[in-house]
Amino acid sequence: MNVRSGFLESIGNTPLIRLRAASEITGCEIYGKAEFLNPGGSIKDRAALAIINDAEQRGQLEPGGVIVEGTAGNVGIGIALVANVRGYRSVIVMPDTQSQEKKDMLRLCGADLRLIPAVPYSNPGHYARYSGRLAEELGAFWANQFDNVANRDGHYRTTGPEIWAQTDGKVDGFTCAVGSGGTLGGVARALKERNPGVKIALSDPMGAALYNWFTRGELTAVGNSITEGIGQVRVTKNLEGTPIDMAYRITDEEALPVLFDLIEHEGLVLGGSSAINIVGAMRLARDLGPGKTIVTILADGGQRYQSKLFNPDFLRKKSLPLPPWMK
């Protein structure tokens, strides 16, 4: 029988979905890796499993132990669910600005959710930095998704090789946004190892610093974005040394209509980071020219952002585009 045994074996081996409009507009084949189909609902299931597996192998987690992590939401959900399967408790630190849907999901998963004010990374109260101190206080394992390279290694061993196999080795370019840097860092290494000619692009939302870091060598940010879980202001350990060929800066005003069009015409309900990724893939396709194969990441579903991305009042207050059916 073709079955998977439980939650953990259901993580990964997600399909590639041809994005019809993006492909037709650019003259390329643009595919999205459907990471929203992971059992926990996002690509972060991969990071959670890789980090916990690595911690077990290193003897950093004892039976019945506690895992602490700072997260915008999705990696916390993944960690909570993997922890449940493995018999650990999870303590999740999250900025109180994140969507209500993710807060509700973390509580549903049984995580001990600690909400704290959203502050810049330079502030010791930043959720990632605070979670490290909390883990030390509790004598718990700190997952540290941003600087624990087990995250990147998980994508190097799974996501990248899956993309290579699914495209029969014919992938010409890959792009995604950066949160922890694990996906871009791992996939880029895996694809470049198989074909150094594969072009790797960083897709950066407004409010992030990595576009300026790549193009000008400066970690400076401009503007802001309503996207969650992406938009980094520093070079994480997972991102260090990643072979990036080009970078794009993408606005919410450009990304949201793509997101809404996917729902209306292709039946795909996705989160904001996926919209940034798809716009980045379209730019990469235009730069490489017609006939190329481009892959990006469909990181999670739109259900986790209904109170923001698909809330007309919220969008109007931000002077952002609305879904046509909600005007």
44 part of the active site:
yes
Nearest residue to 294 via CA among 31, 81, 60: 31
Q: Catalytic pick from 44, 102, 103, 308?
A: 44
How many Å apart are CA 212 and CA 233, to the nearest integer?
A: 10
Compute and round to an integer the Cα radius of gyration of the chain.
19
Torsion, Cα of 195, 201, 202, 205 (10° steps): -150
Nearest residue to 262 via CA among 5, 12, 25: 25
CB atoms within 10 A of CB 97: 11
How many Å apart are CA 115 and CA 99, to the nearest integer?
A: 12
Give the bridge partners for 173, in sequence order: 199, 294
How many Å apart are CA 298 and CA 264, to the nearest integer?
A: 17
Torsion, Cα of 203, 205, 207, 213 (10° steps): 10
Both tokens of residue 173?
């370019």
Q: Classify residue 309 by its DSSP letter.
A: T
- The pairing of beta strand 112-116 with beta strand 173-176: unpaired
Residue 96 corresponds to which amino acid? D
Catalytic sites, residue numbers: 44
